[in-house]
Structure 1
Amino acid sequence: MKIKLISVGKLKEKYLKDGIAEYVKRLSRFGQVEQIELPDEKTPDKASDKENAQILAKEGDRILAKLSERDFVVAMAIEGKLISSEELSSRLELEMQQASTLTFIIGGSLGLDPRVKKRANSLMSFGRITLPHQLMRLVLVEQIYRAFMIREGSPYHK
């Protein structure tokens, strides 16, 4: 089993890097974890809709270049399906039987290019609130770890 985490934007905060590293280390017992950090495009203040679309397209090109046809892709999107930790665990179990690589995508500050959303097998959301995409990385990797622990019946999920 391989878990691929693709995210747009550089992670700068040490506390976030440390937290993500801890969960990636914990996840490594369940399979290989690959983290891919892609550069984000600079977004000018008061960018027009056209400029924003161009930025999303450039970031989308970078994301799509990192995907394999055989990846099962879950894109994090505020309009995605709201799921609980238990539902995530069940879905991961099901998808692991069908795909060798589970790929999770977190976009940049503008979100995700429509082509990335279209390529995704699933759009998922952890709520209607907006989180900084750097913090979303930590939340996502923790929830993936939690999903594996739920599968094992671990007390971690209490």
Structure 2
Amino acid sequence: MQKVQIVCVGGLKEAYWRQACAEYEKRLRPFAQFRIVELSESRLPENPSPAQIEAALQKEGKQILAACGSGVIVPLCIEGKEMDSPSLAAYLQKAGVRGAGRISFVIGSSYGLVQEVKQAGQMRLSMSPMTFPHQLTRVMLCEQIYRAYEILNHGKYHK
């Protein structure tokens, strides 16, 4: 069974976001060993300097890479590749065939991701050219991972 995780900086404050992620986590159980890893966001002053932001991103990047460990890393970033749901399903399938022990999707903080995390990725993924709150992005990603497995297993969820 494929291991898939979402590694994200920061938590979900509102209960409805947590409930949505929990629902997709439950739905994914038959298809993959799925988990969400929440890392602490670096504390920054109200108006941080570029150097403070870079230092925070470096610190978060080290935590992210440690949490990802070995396997495929897929950072989410605006310059990433946009793909439709069947293409994401095919990507997950190919990663499994190539022997990827784990696939880690990475959602950074509100300041994004440090370059080292992006470079560690086998593919950079963009959900859209639009900007979304990180909480919504996490729910959308959970849904798309679930949809991908439904596609691969010829389920009725994806029409």
* Residue 125 (structure 1) aligned with residue 126 (structure 2): yes
Unaligned runs of 5+ in 2: none
- CA offset at residue 67 of structure 1? 2.3
Give the whole-Å Cα distance in 1 for the aligned partners of 2:4 and 2:79.
23
Give the whole-Å Cα distance in 2 for the aligned partners of 1:92 and 1:42.
34
Give the whole-Å Cα distance in 2 for the aligned partners of 1:93 and 1:145.
13
Give the whole-Å Cα distance in 2 for the aligned partners of 1:119 and 1:134.
23
* Residue 75 (structure 1) aligned with residue 75 (structure 2): yes
Counterpart AA for 1:41: S
- CA offset at residue 132 of structure 1? 1.0
Deviations 1:115-136 (A, max 9, x none): 1111111100011111111111
Q: 1:94: which partner in 2? A: 94
Name the TM-score, length of structure 2 as normaliser.
0.94
- CA offset at residue 20 of structure 1? 0.3
Give the whole-Å Cα distance in 2 for the aligned partners of 1:8 and 1:79.
19
* Pairing 1:17-96 to 2, within 5 Å after superposition: 17-69=18-70, 71-96=71-96
SS at match of 2:106: strand
Give the whole-Å Cα distance in 2 for the aligned partners of 1:143 and 1:122.
16
Give the whole-Å Cα distance in 2 for the aligned partners of 1:3 and 1:77.
18
Q: Percent same amino acid at aligned positions?
A: 39
Aligned residues, how many?
157
- CA offset at residue 25 of structure 1? 0.5
Give the whole-Å Cα distance in 1 for the aligned partners of 2:15 and 2:69.
31
Alpha carbons 2:7, 2:68 under 8 Å: kept = no
Comparing 87-96 with 42-51, greater Cα deviation is found at 42-51
Name the TM-score, length of structure 1 as normaliser.
0.95
